[in-house]
């Protein structure tokens, strides 16, 4: 007859047992497994859901030293059978313990939607929502609309915000002032998607006064495009830019008048313009209650003979300015007198901001001054950056700068 001590001396771990089980808040089971080690060498713990002699898929945990006699198995499913062995490497071959089977405790759970949903207005265009996580909630979206029917049907004024978030509070921006919204939380759970109950919130009243945007200006004007910018007035929420080929058409909405509406940033890039052409424009602003027009300004697009050429970037520096706005200062080279500051384009993909900066170049037969120069662009990146996240701003695939939003 062979004792447990004799078996251990031959290299196999013995006396596998469950020392304790704990039901975790995430509805998984934590099991403490114990055994008597042989001391022959490094140990590993193998466990599986199948009683197939470990010929199929199984989890391999370790390595543990030769005297280790206990291991904690995490994230096991409740009310499931598991099959375990301890494998010991004696320097020449694996010594396997006898198979040990056990069943996890803890009652299976039912996932549940978020509860205690609350909402409160924090400004005339924003509201803050909070909720308590339900069972098995993994991540959330916040749905809102102006009527319960549109909220449930996901039509009309329905919008969603913050999808993928794991916290239990969220601020929704860009809402209308003096408006009542119905909202609910959608949770992705371990058993599928679930909605919370609905909650109502009314944004703060619209301002009864407004002032027009000021400092209207063209940041650049290339042959076929221009970027306009302005300083917001008081209680400005969103903008239109009215554009025409004459001041008369601009003011009377004549044949050449057109407008670009519904954006909230104080900059607008205009494309498909005619070269060597004077354009008249003004900025219209609204706060859902009152509106105002800026003064009439004009700009002229660049010569038709000028070409675009990607600029050589010398330096990039990103900084945060007043009002939480991030800006990129981009220093580019002007190789000679035939190179002029041109234009820039911005695109963003998650934590990466890409900027393309071009110079305008005069025709090759033009006599050019050989004096080189530089031009410093100050490019608005906006304020939509998450605190604590690091972003890269790369210009012309040449030079980049990193910043961590604060």
Provide CB contacts within 8 A for 218, sequence distance 6+: 226, 227, 228, 229, 299
Q: How far is CA 142 from CA 111, 169, 197, in A?
A: 18, 10, 12
| pLDDT for the residue 125 | 87
Could you tell me the two tokens for 358?
């071009």
- 280 within a domain of the structure (yes/no): yes
Picking from 300, 333, 353, the residue at the C-terminal end of a domain is 300
Beta strands in 51-136 (DSSP E): 59-64, 70-76, 81-89, 94-96, 100-103, 115-121, 127-132
Residue 263 structure tokens: 């954006």
Q: How many CB atoms lie within 10 A of CB 95?
A: 20
Q: Quick check: is 248 in a domain? A: yes
Question: Is the residue at 365 inside a domain?
Answer: yes
Full residue range of the structural domain in which residue 342 is found: 307-404
Q: Based on the fold, state whether residues 311 and 296 are members of the same structural domain.
A: no
Where does a domain end: 202, 222, 245?
202
pLDDT score for 367: 74
CATH of the domain at 57: 2.60.40.10
Q: What's the CA dihedral at 360, 327, 385, 402 to 10 degrees?
A: 80
One domain for residues 121 and 190: yes
- Residues 340 and 380 occupy one common structural domain: yes
Using CA atoms, how far apart are residues 209 and 203, in angstroms rounded to an integer?
17
**Are 323 and 383 contained in the same domain?**
yes
Long-range contacts of 188-193 (CB under 8 A, 24+ apart): 188/137, 188/138, 188/139, 188/140, 189/111, 189/112, 189/113, 189/134, 189/135, 189/136, 189/137, 189/138, 190/27, 190/111, 190/136, 190/138, 191/110, 191/111, 191/136, 192/111
Task: Out of 38, 70, 103, pick the residue that ends a domain.
Answer: 103
- How many other CB atoms are there within 10 angstroms of residue 342's CB atom? 26
For the four alpha carbons of 73, 75, 79 and 81, in that order, the dihedral sign comes to negative
The structure tokens listed for 233 are 């007035």
Q: In terms of domains, do 8 and 73 share one? A: yes
Domain count, the chain: 4
Distance, CA of 127 to CA of 181 (rounded, Å): 10
* Per-residue confidence (pLDDT) for residue 136, from 0 to 100: 82
Give me the DSSP letters along 3-23: -HHHHHHTT--EEEEEEEEEE
Would 208 be classed as within a structural domain?
A: no
How far apart CA 60 and CA 73 sit, in angstroms, is 11
Cis peptide bond upstream of 155, omega within 30: no
Residue labelled with tokens 């998450």: 386
334, part of any domain:
yes
What integer pLDDT is reported at residue 23 of this predicted model?
81
The pLDDT tens digits along the chain (406 residues) read 334 444 444 789 999 999 998 887 667 889 999 999 999 999 999 999 989 988 888 888 889 999 999 999 988 888 889 999 999 999 899 999 999 999 998 876 678 899 999 999 998 889 999 999 998 888 999 999 999 999 999 999 999 999 999 999 999 988 988 999 999 999 998 788 999 999 999 999 988 899 999 999 999 999 999 999 999 999 998 999 999 999 999 999 999 999 999 888 999 999 999 999 999 999 999 988 899 999 999 999 999 989 899 999 999 999 998 778 899 999 999 998 889 899 999 999 889 999 999 999 988 766 777 788 999 999 999 888 888 899 999 999 988 899 998 8
Specify if 108 maps to a domain: no
Residues 198 and 218 in one domain: no
State whether 318 and 249 are in the same domain. Answer: no
Question: Per the domain annotation, does 209 fall within a domain?
Answer: no
Position 342 in a domain: yes
The span from the CA of 326 to the CA of 389, in Å, is: 14
CA distances from 169 to 130, 182, 293, 306, 316 (A): 4, 16, 37, 52, 36
Residue 61 burial (CB < 10 Å; 0-12/13-18/19+)?
middle
Long-range contacts of 95-100 (CB under 8 A, 24+ apart): 95/10, 95/11, 95/12, 95/13, 95/38, 95/40, 96/12, 97/12, 97/13, 97/14, 97/16, 97/35, 98/12, 98/14, 98/16, 99/51, 99/53, 100/16, 100/17
Say whether both 290 and 244 belong to one domain.
yes
Strands across the sheet containing 29-36: 14-23, 29-36, 70-76
Query: Is the domain of 164 the same as that of 234?
Result: no
Q: Where are the alpha helices (DSSP H) in 197-255?
A: 247-252
């Amino acid at each position: 007859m062979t004792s447990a001590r004799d078996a251990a001396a031959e290299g196999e771990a013995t006396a596998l047992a469950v020392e304790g089980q704990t039901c975790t808040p995430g509805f998984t089971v934590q099991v403490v497994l114990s055994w008597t080690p042989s001391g022959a060498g490094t140990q590993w713990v193998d466990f599986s859901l199948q009683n197939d002699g470990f010929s199929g898929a199984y989890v391999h945990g370790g390595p543990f030293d030769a005297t280790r006699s206990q291991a904690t198995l995490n994230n096991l499913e409740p009310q499931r059978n598991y099959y375990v062995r301890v494998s010991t490497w004696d320097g020449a071959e694996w010594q396997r313990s006898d198979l040990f089977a056990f069943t996890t405790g803890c009652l299976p759970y039912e996932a549940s939607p978020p509860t205690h949903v609350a909402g409160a207005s924090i400004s005339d265009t924003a509201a803050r929502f909070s909720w308590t996580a339900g069972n098995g909630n993994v991540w959330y979206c916040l749905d809102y609309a102006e009527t319960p029917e549109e909220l449930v049907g996901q039509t009309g004024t329905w919008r969603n915000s913050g999808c993928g978030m794991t916290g239990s509070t969220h601020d929704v921006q860009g809402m209308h002032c003096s408006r009542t919204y119905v909202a609910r939380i959608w949770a992705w759970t371990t058993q599928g998607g679930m909605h919370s109950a609905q909650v109502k919130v009314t944004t703060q009243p619209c301002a009864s006064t407004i002032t027009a945007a000021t400092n209207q200006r063209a940041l650049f004007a290339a042959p076929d495009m221009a970027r306009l910018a302005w300083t917001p007035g008081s209680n400005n929420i969103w903008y239109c830019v009215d554009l025409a080929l004459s001041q008369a058409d601009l003011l009377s909405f004549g044949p050449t008048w057109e407008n670009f509406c519904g954006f909230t940033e104080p900059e607008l890039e205009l494309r498909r313009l005619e070269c060597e052409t004077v354009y008249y424009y003004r900025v219209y602003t609204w706060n859902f209650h009152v509106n105002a027009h800026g003064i009439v300004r004009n700009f002229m697009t660049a010569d038709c003979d000028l070409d675009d050429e990607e600029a050589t970037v010398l330096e990039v520096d990103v900084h945060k300015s007043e009002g939480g706005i991030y800006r990129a200062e981009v220093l580019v080279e002007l190789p000679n007198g035939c190179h002029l500051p041109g234009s820039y384009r911005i695109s963003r993909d998650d934590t990466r901001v890409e900027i393309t900066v071009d110079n305008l170049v005069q025709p090759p037969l033009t006599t050019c001054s050989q004096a080189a120069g530089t031009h410093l662009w100050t490019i608005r990146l906006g304020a939509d950056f998450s605190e604590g996240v690091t972003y890269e701003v790369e210009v012309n695939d040449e030079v980049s700068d990193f910043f961590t939003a604060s």
